[in-house]
Amino acid sequence: MSRIGPGSSERVGGSRRRRLGLQPERMRELSLLAIIVVAVLAFSLVFENALSGRFFNRVTTSVAITAVLAAGQTVVIITRNIDLSVGSIVGVTAYLTGEYLGDHPDAGLFLAIGVAVLIGGALGLVNGALVAYGRVPAIIVTLGTLAIYRTWLIEHANSQNITADTLPQWLDELPRASVLSFGEFDIRLTFAVAVLVVVVLQIALGRLRWGRWLYAVGSNPDAARQAGLPAQPLTLVAFVVSGALAGLAGFMFLERFGTITVFAGSGLELASVAAAVVGGVSVLGGSGTVFGAMLGAVLIALLDQSLLRTPQVSEFWRDAILGALILAGVAADFLVGKRLRRRWAESRRSLSLGATSERGAVTDA
């Protein structure tokens, strides 16, 4: 009868179930990969050079910024929060870093990145403090700071743009720098950096104690408190990471576009949330991977770039498709979740034959 007693060695979350249990994330990533491949093939029928190295380079360069942002966004969403301010943080850091480089042409690459990351991290800290210690919901805080940071930038810039000619020469050459080349296919430095960020974060979230705690806090905040996890500092850290990565993205933005207006980066907050959600990061917190978010970002960039090159479909379809993708992502997330809950209920029944179904039964109804 009992399946967890000493006499019975039957496994409650048996190995079959384990594969099913852990699988959703992997499944999600695999299916995203499949969708990406199918999309590339489909677009290759529509316009010529979808399989060319050149197109590959276009997609990878344009995905770099969103992928970095989506990685940061993932960290925040895992803790059951959201960061809508990243678009403005990108703008502020791109602008200020550009200004800094204009004033200090001798500053090197790493110093410039350091400045950008520091500024971004500081802005993230403000968000994090308000959410973790002020206990204002993240959506409110970051909707507010989205406006506030942008306003500050506009005031600060006094309608002066950062232009390419004020920037040091090495910055101009950065977008063309490749780490590796296979014929026409380049791995551009920016893309390599984005991949590096994703890999590092993926490992950190998977293997660092604090990484697992971030999942724990998002998965069950009450339990996290009872387990004595530092929930508030963790939330703060998540926002700082997101801000710092937005700062890095701001630097990438600067080196890519050269010209920075006070509206640089606006709208990227939605793209990053979209990438994360499409990539299987659960908006309920506690689950999802940075790698999935990266795939989400790739899919979105692929759509963007392909639609620009598909004369039959106007590029204006982009946002509509993006909205549909998010909805599909969330719905898939929930259907999986629902199945899990149902399985849970079943396992409870099989354990105790009708015992404790009182709660389970209602949630199914």
Partner 1 sequence: MKKHRTLLAVVAGLALVMAACAEEQQAGGGGGQAEAPGPGELVTIEGGEDMSGVFIPKATDNPVFDQANDGAVEAAEELGAEPASFEGPPSAEDIEGQIQIMTNAVTQGVDAVMISNNAAEQIEPAAQQAQDAGITVVSWDSPIPSGADAGESLFVAQVDFDETGEVMADMALDLLGEEGGEFAILSATPDAANQNAWIEDMEAALEDPKYENLELVDTVYGNDDPEDSYDQALALVDQYPDLQLIMAPTTVGIAAAAEAMQDEDLCGQVLVSGLGLPSDMVEFTLNGCAPEFALWSFTDLGYLTYYATYGIATGQVQAVEGAQFEAGRLGEYTIEPDPTRDNGLRIVMGPFTVYTEENVEEG
Partner 2 sequence: MPEWARRWGWELLLAGILIGVLILNVSLSPFYLGVQNVINTFQLSIEKVIVAVIMAFVIVNGEIDLSVASVMAFSASVLAALHAAGAPFGLAVGAALLTGAIAGLFQGFFVARMGLPSLTVTLAGLIGFRGAARILVEDQSIGDFPEWFDRLGQDPLVGRLSFGLLLFLVGIVVAGIILHRTPFGRSLYVIGDNSEVARFSGINVARTKLIVMTSSGFVAGLAGVLFAARLGSVRGDLGQGFELDIITMVLLGGVSIFGGSGTMVGVGLSILIVLNIRNGLGLARFAITTQTGVIGVLLILSVLVPNLVSRFARRRHRGPGPAPPSGGRTTDQGGDLRGREHESQQATVE
Partner 3 sequence: MTEPGPYLRASGLSKRFDATQALEDVSLTLHQGEIHALLGENGAGKSTLIKIMTGIHAPDQGTILVRGEPANIRSPADAQRHGIAAIYQEPTIFPDLNVAENIFVGHRERGTVVRWRRMYREAESILATLGVHLDVRALASGLSVAAQQAVEIAKAISLDVKLLIMDEPTAALSAHEVSRLFDQVRHLTETGVAVLFISHRLEEVFEIADRVTVLRDGRLISSNPRDEVTPQGAIQDMVGREMADFFSRSEHQAGDPVLRVEELGREGIFSGVTFEVRRGEVLGLAGLVGAGRTDVALALFGIAPADQGSVDLGGRPLIPRSPGHAMRRGIAYLSEDRLQRGLSLPQSFTSNITLPTLRRYVSRLRLLDSAAERAVADRFRRRLNIRTPSLRTPVERLSGGNQQKTMLAKWLNTQPAVLILDEPTHGIDVGAKAEVHKIIDELARSGMAIILISSDLPEVLAMSDRVLVMREGRQVGVFVRSEATQEGIITAAMGAA
Task: State the residues that interact with partner 1 by CB under 8 A.
Answer: 47, 49, 54-55, 57-58, 62, 154, 159-161, 163-165, 172, 175-176, 256-264, 304-305, 308-309, 311
User: Of 106 and 165, which has the nearer Cβ to partner 1?
Assistant: 165
Distance of alpha carbon 177 from alpha carbon 175, whole angstroms: 6
Which does residue 291 bind out of partner 1, partner 2, partner 3, none, counting CB within 5 to 8 angstroms by kind? none
* Locus of tokens 């199914």: 364
From the list 4-12, 187-195, 277-285, 286-294, the region that binds partner 2 by CB under 8 A is 277-285
The answer to whether 296 touches 74, Cβ cutoff 8 Å, is no
Q: Is 14 an interacting residue with respect to partner 2 (CB under 8 A)?
A: no
Show contacts with partner 2 in window 150-189 (CB under 8 A). Answer: 150-152, 154-155
Which tokens belong to 196? 């590096």
- Candidate residues 308, 323, 339, 352; the one interacting with partner 2 per rule CB under 8 A: 323
φ/ψ of residue 185, rounded to 5:
-85, 110
Shortest distance, position 281 Cβ to partner 3, whole Å: 11
Show contacts with partner 2 in window 345-364 (CB under 8 A). Answer: none
User: Of 193 and 277, which has the nearer Cβ to partner 2?
Assistant: 277
Query: What CA dihedral angle connects 292, 295, 297 and 300, to 10 degrees?
Result: -130
Question: Helix 231-257 to helix 209-219 angle, to the nearest 10 degrees?
Answer: 110
Show contacts with partner 2 in window 211-270 (CB under 8 A). Answer: 221, 225, 231-232, 270
Give me the residues that bind partner 3 (CB under 8 A), please.
1-2, 4-6, 8-15, 17-18, 21-22, 206-213, 215-216, 218-220, 222-229, 282, 285-287, 340-341, 343-344, 346-349, 351-358, 361-362, 364-365
From the list 19-27, 28-36, 138-146, 184-192, the region that binds partner 2 by CB under 8 A is 138-146
Can you say whether the dihedral through the CA atoms of 246, 247, 252, 257 is positive or negative?
positive
Amino acid identity at 126: V
Q: Is 135 an interacting residue with respect to partner 2 (CB under 8 A)?
A: yes
User: Of 8 and 259, which has the nearer Cβ to partner 1?
Assistant: 259
Angle at 295 between CA 28 and CA 127, to 5 degrees: 100
Residue 188: half-sphere exposure toward Cβ, Cα within 13 Å: 23
Q: Is 193 an interacting residue with respect to partner 2 (CB under 8 A)?
A: no
User: Of 317 and 344, which has the nearer Cβ to partner 3?
Assistant: 344
Q: What is the CA radius of gyration of the chain?
A: 22
The answer to whether 84 touches 276, Cβ cutoff 8 Å, is no
Which does residue 300 bind out of partner 2, partner 1, partner 3, none, counting CB within 5 to 8 angstroms by kind? none
Q: Which residues contact 177 (CB under 8 A, 6 or more apart)?
A: 188, 189
Show contacts with partner 2 in window 92-131 (CB under 8 A). Answer: 130
From the list 25-33, 189-197, 276-284, 343-351, the region that binds partner 2 by CB under 8 A is 276-284
Distance of alpha carbon 338 from alpha carbon 344, whole angstroms: 10
Show contacts with partner 2 in window 54-83 (CB under 8 A). Answer: 82
DSSP state of 311: T
Which tokens belong to 54? 């050149």
Shortest distance, position 217 Cβ to partner 3, whole Å: 9
Which does residue 256 bind out of partner 3, partner 1, partner 2, none, counting CB within 5 to 8 angstroms by kind? partner 1
User: Of 162 and 281, which has the nearer Cβ to partner 3?
Assistant: 281
Q: Which residues contact 70 (CB under 8 A, 6 or more apart)?
A: 271, 272, 275, 276, 279, 290, 293, 294, 296, 297
Q: Measured between alpha carbons, how far is residue 325 from residues 273, 277, 322 in Å? A: 12, 9, 5
Q: Which residues contact 331 (CB under 8 A, 6 or more apart)?
A: none
Contact positions vs partner 2 (CB under 8 A): 82, 130, 134-137, 139-141, 143-148, 150-152, 154-155, 221, 225, 231-232, 270, 273-274, 277, 283-284, 314, 316-324, 326-327, 330-331, 334
